[in-house]
Amino acid sequence: MSKAAHDKNSGLVFWESPANIALVKYWGKLQGQIPMNPSLSFTLRESVVRIAMRYERVARGAGGLRTFSLNGQPNEKFKARIGQYIESMKAHYAFLADTFLDIESQSTFPHSAGIASSAAAFSALALALGSIENDLDGRHGKGSDFLQKASFAARLGSGSACRSVYGGFTVWGKFDKLPGSSNDYAVKIPDHEIHPVFRNLHNAVLIVDDTEKKVSSTAGHALMNGHDFRQSRIVQASKNMSDMLLALKTGNEELFVEIVENEALTLHGLMMSSRPGYVLIKPGTILMIEKIRQYRRESNVNLCFTLDAGPNIHLIYSTKDAAKVRPFINQELLALCKNRQWVDDGVGSGPIEKQKS
């Protein structure tokens, strides 16, 4: 350890990290935030959380989160959740025992827009903790060990956050056909394993409703424990993972579309058939699904939709079809969006570290 690093008592790190959208869904978990089944997503480009994390060494045992703000305002609700997360991270980042953190965060998308803001937030937090650990140890690397630890730590904040640590396509959860995959952290599918037709997919996030959802993902995951379809879901997810990896590799757009929509409707089918069951989609969601399927039949463009745990549609299409799909979005779908709100997003290249102190 260099003397300079040893003497460092304070500093500031910045990270920008994106949300991701799952194509094969994580739904249901085991003790310790272990997924019930493997999942696969791509990382977004535009929907990001930016954080500035300031650290200051203090007396041993006094460390923890001191201040937290979101979009320029102190936010007590998030401060409590992030504070608990930082407490839990003391087991993995020794420096937290004697370090105060002041965190400023900003998100480029509305919190309730149906984009998993927690994935962006927890991946940014985990990456920032890694950068501080590096600073204090006098290390500089942001290699695979750094990213794997960040993915591990992000998972403990919000499961799907572990997939946001990498750009492109990622898998979280042990899957026999993917060597190196793990329940503890996500792994990146190498870009050369992704057919060019999928590498720059577009994702139009169409906001059907932006009110806070009435059943949290945490409660939804818990309802999978005694779910009547639990075992069948595990079998189905495994089959869909195999087929999705094959589709991505070979450029099979028909297979891709079939699996993406099957996963989206299964996710909401599982919610509806939980005990108690609940419905997060809205009439506008169904109308859009019908329009998208009709457009696909009539145009032969292989676009498709997916859904997160909410009513908003993620329309996925290839760059080669963008000139045709844009007018369809403008003329047919925006009228069904709340206040014509949508986010023009797509596959991104992953988190970035901003300038440092």
Tokens of 316: 């996925």
State yes or no: residue 118 binds ligand PMV (CB under 6 A): yes
Kindly give the residue spans of alpha helices, DSSP state H, lying in 14-143: 76-89, 117-137
Q: How far is the CB of 257 from ligand PMV (least distance, A)?
A: 18
User: Which stretch, 79-87, 91-99, 156-164, 186-194, contacts ligand PMV (CB under 6 A)?
Assistant: 156-164
Judging by DSSP bridges, how do beta strands 169-172 and 39-57 pair with one another? Answer: antiparallel
C-alpha dist (Å) from residue 213 to 53, 55, 114, 120, 279 = 29, 34, 9, 18, 10
> What distance lies between CA 22 and its chain's CA centroid?
7
Give the footprint of ligand PMV on residues 292-351 (CB under 6 A).
308-309
Task: Give the side-chain half-sphere CA count within 13 A for 147.
Answer: 17
Q: Report the alpha-carbon distance of residue 99 to residue 167 in Å, rounded.
A: 30
State yes or no: residue 153 binds ligand PMV (CB under 6 A): no
Tokens of 138: 């006098």
**Nearer to ligand PMV (CB atom), residue 46 or residue 133:** 46
Tokens of 139: 């290390």
Q: How far is the CB of 148 from ligand PMV (least distance, A)?
A: 18
**Nearer to ligand PMV (CB atom), residue 131 or residue 217:** 217
Selected from 17, 37, 39, 266, the binder of ligand PMV by CB under 6 A is: 39
Tokens of 120: 């962006």
Q: How far is the CB of 278 from ligand PMV (least distance, A)?
A: 13
Tally Cβ neighbours within 10 Å of residue 253: 19
Q: How far is the CB of 188 from ligand PMV (least distance, A)?
A: 16
Q: What angle do CA 107, 56, 106 make, to 5 degrees?
A: 5
Q: How far is the CB of 40 from ligand PMV (least distance, A)?
A: 8
Q: How far is the CB of 8 from ligand PMV (least distance, A)?
A: 34
User: Which stretch, 19-27, 91-99, 130-138, 199-207, contacts ligand PMV (CB under 6 A)?
Assistant: 19-27
**Nearer to ligand PMV (CB atom), residue 20 or residue 131:** 20
Selected from 49, 113, 116, 207, the binder of ligand PMV by CB under 6 A is: 116
State yes or no: residue 263 binds ligand PMV (CB under 6 A): no
Q: Report the alpha-carbon distance of residue 40 to residue 20 in Å, rounded.
A: 10
User: Which stretch, 105-113, 158-166, 201-209, 289-297, contacts ligand PMV (CB under 6 A)?
Assistant: 158-166
Give the footprint of ligand PMV on residues 57-96 (CB under 6 A).
none
b/e map 152-184, b = 16+ CB within 10 Å: bbbbbbbbbbbbbbbbbbbbbbebeebeebbbb
**Nearer to ligand PMV (CB atom), residue 164 or residue 252:** 164
User: Which stretch, 25-33, 54-62, 222-230, 346-354, contacts ligand PMV (CB under 6 A)?
Assistant: 25-33
**Nearer to ligand PMV (CB atom), residue 22 or residue 129:** 22
Number of residues this chain uses to bind ligand PMV (CB under 6 A): 15
Residues with Cβ within 8 Å of 72's Cβ and at least 6 positions away in sequence, in order, are 104, 106
Give the footprint of ligand PMV on residues 200-219 (CB under 6 A).
217
User: Which stretch, 22-30, 89-97, 283-291, 311-319, contacts ligand PMV (CB under 6 A)?
Assistant: 22-30
Smallest Cα–Cα separation from 343: which of 301, 314, 304, 318?
314
Selected from 15, 26, 256, 317, the binder of ligand PMV by CB under 6 A is: 26
The crossing angle, in degrees rounded to 10, of helices 230-250 and 253-272 is: 160
Task: Give the side-chain half-sphere CA count within 13 A for 135.
Answer: 23
Tokens of 256: 């891709």
Please give the residue ranges that form the binding site for ligand PMV (CB under 6 A): 22, 25-27, 39, 116, 118, 158-160, 217, 221, 267, 308-309
